[in-house]
A and B are shown apart, each in its own frame.
Chain A
Amino acid sequence: MRLPQSTLNTIHGWLLLTPAAVLLVAFTHYPTVATLIQSVFSSGTALRPSVFVGLDNYQMMLDDPVFWKVVGNNLTYASFTIPFSIAIALLMALWVNGKLPLRGVVRMAYFTPTILPMIAVANIWLFFYSPDIGLLDQITRTFGFASTNWLGDADTVLGCIIVLAIWKDAGFFMIFYLAALQALPPDLEEAAKLEGAGRWYFFRKVTFPLLMPTTLFVMINAVINSFKLIDQLFILTKGGPDNASSLLLYYIYEVAFSFFDEAYAATLTVVLLAVLAIIAIGQFVILDKRIHYR
């Protein structure tokens, strides 16, 4: 007996898909569904088994002042790191795309923060920010300012975290812009010059629109990073003082591995997933329409 060709094709297709599908299900879909289920159960211990609690965990989250604090922190963090890291990346890319001496060295210098592990970098920045003995304090001191406890003050600590994140991200995004810039046909610039367009006009009307696909890609990465990249907190502040620098994912880590409250951690994770999904969909739907693809 022989199966019809179409059936064989289907089987063949599914077999080809299987490896990817298994990985996707095991590491993406199953954890997502498991998280959703866990979030409506209580955290079980050997002495108190887990029971179904409906939306109790979500109610607890809404009543949790620390949750609102970290959400606020994360929004501040995102609204500074995203635009600044992208803008700086673009500026650096435009600069090192031009003709300048030691171009390779400058490009490498800009890219260095990206290849350093965040934990190592945070250990170095810890000493930059350290009062009295830190680099930052020694510089401000020469201008006659008093010593500042950068990481120990609730008013400055989030700013310190933001600056580090921008420094770390900008070089990475620069590489994408640089690649996109080098792919732009040079005749466009020549044509614009013949027409008498200024540099700013050319950038605004030609370069920037042509870079939009890259900008979308970079922006999605920047948004995800602003929720996902928290390694520096472990070294610099542990979310303190008094949660002033804690971010959503760091709080999830604390709840899961310090408080051992799996259910509440799952609840917070569901919120994080929802936020990221909404942002990603929004970016694709709204921005995609306004982007010019070649």
Chain B
Amino acid sequence: MMKRAKTLLAGVGLAAALGAGAATPASAVDLTMYYPIAVGGPLTGVVDGMVADFMKANPDVKVKAIYAGNYDDARVKALAALKSGQPAQTSVLFSIDIYELIEQDAIVAFDDIVSTAEEKAWLNSFYPGLMENGKTKGKTWGIPFQRSTIVMYYNKDAFKEAGLDPAKPPANWDEMAAMGKKLVKKSGGQVERWGVMVPSTGYPYWMFQAFAMQNGEVLMNSEGNQTYFDKPAVVEALTYWQKLGKDGTMPAGAIEWGTLRQNFVEGKTAMMWHTTGNLSAVKKEAKFDFGVAMLPAKKRLGSPTGGGNFYIFKQTTPEERKAAMRLIKFMTAPEMAAKWSIATGYMGVSPASYETDVLKKYAADFPPAAVARDQLKYGTAELSTYQTGRVRKALNDAIQAVLTGAKEPAAALKEAQGQADRLLKPYR
């Protein structure tokens, strides 16, 4: 008995000694990072591989990358970790969470961390369109990582069948309405193929931002405390969307985000608006010749961006912040961004990433991969305000009410604007 206790003690001692020995040298920094995955596919492996590459190149930094579910889950987990006293130092979270994170006093601005001229130049090396969601109060709080935009996928075979030029997708609203009408195929009284489908569940506000932008309007200010839902051009945008359904070019009612890709690859719609994140999947599943185009214009071209940004949390030591900066710089460097873009369909985040040989070659072989980049010039920030969940829901409900025929655009948007005004008043 005594002997066993001794062995046990020795074991504990040994374990403690090992534990101390395994601890990294005094100069090393441990980082915890949460990240979300919002599209299908084995992307966790890609992220973990990139992090492993970083640690190989930077042996003095240890990164624990934790997959945290979708964007909502990741935000809940990161904020919970912060409250529990076991905080993460950096995370990839939804780009539109910025105001929520600032209100929770959870993050620091990158301007307060960068010191050298080279680092300051790095802050300006990304596409401005992707930086919009990361900037407020004159500072940069988020660095773009997994970012997407909306593009138009179209079925070239259907275009040929309807007597349209498959090399010329609709360039503006009138053309989309007219071509859409021609592309509708009926047998008997039943529709075999619709002209166009724009999804209106899941992220209706995102699609709607594209319509509004094309009509020359943004939906909120960069301070995140003012929305413009009831401006005449915005109402006009919703009226156009509603009219596509009324004309019979698009099915009436809400169109499901999740099954839309299936509708497209089965030829049930000739055109669809969807995220670039679906590009690889459509490429794999479509048995017809398809094209990818920029969204059509009204007064101008336009599409919102979407996706996740890197943030650095406030509860960090200066060393941890520096290490986190190095990690973020590594993950968003042109070569890495190119690799990430090819693996996922997300955009390369900087002009330099599209100048890398791998991405140049990929875009040359598969031109649709470059459409998102080319459209970025006309991009706008994704809808994001203080009280963002509620404000977004007010707009989503208004859009769905109009598309299901319960309300008219002007009245529905006025109501949504009223709700947003009430919610945002304390922030002005």
Contact = CB atoms under 8 A, between A and B. Distances in A.
Contacts of A144: 188
A242 interface: yes
Contact of B258 (A45, A126, A146, A241): A126
Interface string A231-244: 00001011011111
A181 interface: no
A280 interface: no
B105 A46 contact: yes
B201 A258 contact: no
Given A240-B201, A241-B201, A260 B389 contact: yes
B299 interface: no
Nearest to A148: B253
B100 A260 contact: yes
Interface string A265-285: 000000000000000000000
Interface residues of A, number: 34
A250 to B, nearest CB: 12
B251 A146 contact: no
A151 interface: yes
A131 interface: yes
Q: 4 nearest interchain CB pairs?
A: A152-B253, A46-B105, A241-B400, A152-B254
B71 to A, nearest CB: 10
A131 B251 contact: yes
B389 A254 contact: yes
B28 interface: no
Contacts of A147: 190-191, 251
B297 interface: no
A52 interface: no
Given A45-B104, A46-B103, A149-B251, A154 B72 contact: no
A240 B257 CA distance: 12
A46 B201 contact: no
B285 to A, nearest CB: 13
A77 B403 CA distance: 24
Q: Which of A131, A242, A257, A260 has the most CB of B within 10 A?
A: A242
A242 B397 contact: yes
B89 interface: no
Interface in A112-160: 126-127, 130-133, 141, 144, 146-147, 149, 151-154
A153 B259 contact: no
21 contacts: A126-B258, A126-B259, A130-B263, A132-B191, A132-B194, A132-B263, A132-B268, A133-B266, A147-B251, A149-B254, A151-B256, A152-B201, A152-B254, A152-B255, A153-B254, A244-B404, A254-B389, A257-B72, A258-B389, A259-B389, A259-B390
B256 A241 contact: no
Contacts of B201: 151-152, 237-238, 240-241
Interface string B68-85: 000010001000000000
Contact of A241 (B390, B393, B403): B403
B47 interface: no
Nearest to B402: A242
Contacts of B100: 260
B72 A141 contact: no
B200 A257 contact: no
B383 to A, nearest CB: 14
A206 B410 CA distance: 62
Secondary structure of the A side of the interface? loop
A67 B253 CA distance: 23
Interface of A: 45-48, 66, 126-127, 130-133, 141, 144, 146-147, 149, 151-154, 235, 237-238, 240-244, 254, 257-261
B202 interface: yes
A260 B259 CA distance: 29
B255 A154 contact: no
A241 B190 CA distance: 24
A240 B400 contact: yes
B256 A126 contact: yes
Interface in B236-253: 251-253
A244 B400 CA distance: 10
Contact of B105 (A47, A149, A153): A47
A46 B105 CA distance: 6
A29 to B, nearest CB: 23
A48 to B, nearest CB: 8
B162 interface: no
Given A152-B253, A153-B404, A257-B72, 19 more contacts: A47-B104, A47-B105, A126-B256, A130-B262, A130-B263, A132-B263, A133-B262, A133-B263, A133-B268, A147-B191, A147-B251, A151-B201, A151-B254, A152-B256, A153-B254, A241-B200, A241-B401, A259-B389, A259-B393
A241 B202 CA distance: 10
Interface string B198-213: 0011100000000000
Contacts of A132: 191, 194, 251, 263, 268
Nearest to B412: A242
B259 A242 contact: no
Contacts of A244: 404
A60 B397 CA distance: 19
Contacts of B316: none
Nearest to B263: A133
B76 A257 contact: yes
A262 to B, nearest CB: 12
A15 to B, nearest CB: 28
A289 B389 CA distance: 48
Interface in B378-403: 387, 389-390, 393, 396-398, 400-401, 403
B318 interface: no
Q: Which of B105, B200, B201, B403 has the most CB of A within 10 A?
A: B201
Contacts of A260: 100, 389
B52 interface: no
B401 A242 contact: yes
A291 B328 CA distance: 67
A77 B117 CA distance: 62
B189 interface: yes
A240 B263 contact: no
